Amino acid sequence: MSTREETLAGKTATPLLRAGNWRVMLMAAMVGLLIVLAMLMKWIVELQVEAAQERRLSEAVAREAVARCHEKTPLQAVNECLRGLAASASPTAR
């Protein structure tokens, strides 16, 4: 029997993972993982930026409310207004 006939009969089949193929597959997996990690980092950064913008907006609203309290003339009215703001802010902070 010739070599060609043996390979056709399936006696000497080529292995699925040759000596160099596993390195290529490892590099491809590493590049794929790198891409996934980059996308995850992009998502996390966008989430953090969005949270910071929301926090800045809520802080600006709170500063504006405190400024409105300080516009009141009597000191007692200012203190009552600030206490009211603190009471309304404490349940949301929890």
Q: How far is CA 28 from the centre of its chain?
A: 24
Residue 66: inside a domain? yes
Higher pLDDT, 69 or 60: 60
In a domain, 94, yes or no: no
Task: Report how far residue 29's alpha carbon sits from residue 20's, in angstroms, rounded to the nearest whole number.
Answer: 15
Range of the domain at 62: 5-89
What's this model's pTM, rounded to 2 decimal places? 0.55
Domain annotation covers residue 36: yes
The answer as to whether 43 is a domain residue is yes
Question: How many domains does the chain divide into?
Answer: 1
- pLDDT-derived band of residue 94, with 50, 70 and 90 as boundaries? very low
Q: What percent of the chain has pLDDT over 70?
A: 74
Identify whether 38 is part of a domain.
Answer: yes
Q: Is residue 84 part of a domain?
A: yes
**pLDDT score of 78:** 84
